[in-house]
Amino acid sequence: MNDTFSIQQNVATIKENIEKSCLIGGQDPKKITIVAVTKYVSIARAEEAVANGITDLGENRDEGLLEKWAAISSNASWHFIGSLQSRKVKTIIDKVDYIHSLDRISLAEEIHKRATRKIKCFVQVNVSGEDSKHGLPMNKVASFIEELSSYTKLEIVGLMTMAPYTKDEEVLRKCFRNLKNLQQSIQSKHYSYAPCTELSMGMSNDYMIAIEEGATFIRIGSALVGNEQ
Ligand SMILES: *Cc1c(COP(=O)(O)O)cnc(C)c1O
């Protein structure tokens, strides 16, 4: 146990860092959404984050999402951030506001079929091309988004990526910059169903770099709510 752990302090630190990174990257701090990733922590920790002003919670598995949602539901917006099996869509669809892991047409079809209201979706992109990473390769993203026009329950709000696991700042920057360039090229097409104005990128170890490079949704677990596992 680390007895100096404080979610209140973590939120304050992250907000200060967001301010700094926005200054460097020329962004408005108000446009950055902090998604608190609660997959490694208890309901109590997730509730504590909400009590400290966090409005968005993220989970990467359906069980975790359902458990947290049952306890906290209407006090937050809910983000599904993990790879999503089509057969799990119906169990989470009425609970989530955002899905960050859209990566195939069959999943879009299932979301469209099950949703009773608009679901904001990020297309997940495997920028680095690592085999271990989920998401579409960069060169498949534009045609994939073109194919989504008939799935009217989905709104394609932006692109999401997980950076490679490295401390090499240049590698991280390049990954985030590539995703930003792709996002801008899709945004410039002005698809009504895919405004694609947002970038979900940056986690505990790299969110400052991600914001400098244009992130608008950062997904932060351990640096915010800790890790109880
Ligand atoms: C776990 C997870 C995060 C948060 O990870 P931390 O390093 O703890 O901040 C962000 N995004 C996804 C997709 C995750 O699975």
> How far, in Å, from the CA of 179 to the mean position of ligand 1?
18
- The CATH number of whichever domain residue 86 belongs to comes to 3.20.20.10
Q: Comparing C-alpha atoms, which of 85, 86, 129, 82 is closest to residue 101?
A: 82
Distance separating alpha carbons of residues 48 and 82, to the nearest angstrom? 23
Ligand 1 is surrounded, with C-beta below 6 A, by: 37, 39, 60, 81-82, 162, 203-204, 219-223
133-164 per-position pLDDT tens digit: 799 999 999 999 999 999 999 999 999 999 99
What residue's CA is closest to ligand 1, atom 5? 221
Determine the pLDDT at residue 2: 53
Token pair of 192 as six digits: 């009504």
Determine the pLDDT at residue 184: 98
Token pair of 195 as six digits: 């405004």
Q: Please, are residues 223 and 40 in contact by the beta-carbon 8 Å criterion?
A: no
Residues in the chain: 229
Residue 2 within any structural domain of the chain: no
Distance separating alpha carbons of residues 95 and 107, to the nearest angstrom? 17
Residue 1 within any structural domain of the chain: no
Residue 40 within any structural domain of the chain: yes
Residue 48 within any structural domain of the chain: yes
Give pLDDT tens digits along the chain (229 positions): 556 899 999 999 999 999 999 999 999 999 999 999 999 999 999 999 999 999 999 999 999 999 999 999 878 999 999 999 999 999 999 999 999 999 999 999 999 999 999 999 999 999 988 877 799 999 999 999 999 999 999 999 999 999 998 999 999 999 999 999 999 999 999 999 999 999 999 999 999 999 999 999 999 999 999 999 8
Q: How many domains does the chain have?
A: 1
Residue 18 within any structural domain of the chain: yes
> How far, in Å, from the CA of 225 to the mean position of ligand 1?
11
Determine the pLDDT at residue 128: 85
Residue 221 within any structural domain of the chain: yes
Which ligand 1 atom minimizes the distance to the CA of 203?
A: 9
Pocket test for ligand 1, best of 203, 224, 227, 228 (most atoms within 8 A of CB): 203
> How far, in Å, from the CA of 202 to the mean position of ligand 1?
9
Residue 132 within any structural domain of the chain: yes
Residue 70 is part of which domain span? Answer: 7-225
Q: Please, are residues 100 and 78 in contact by the beta-carbon 8 Å criterion?
A: no
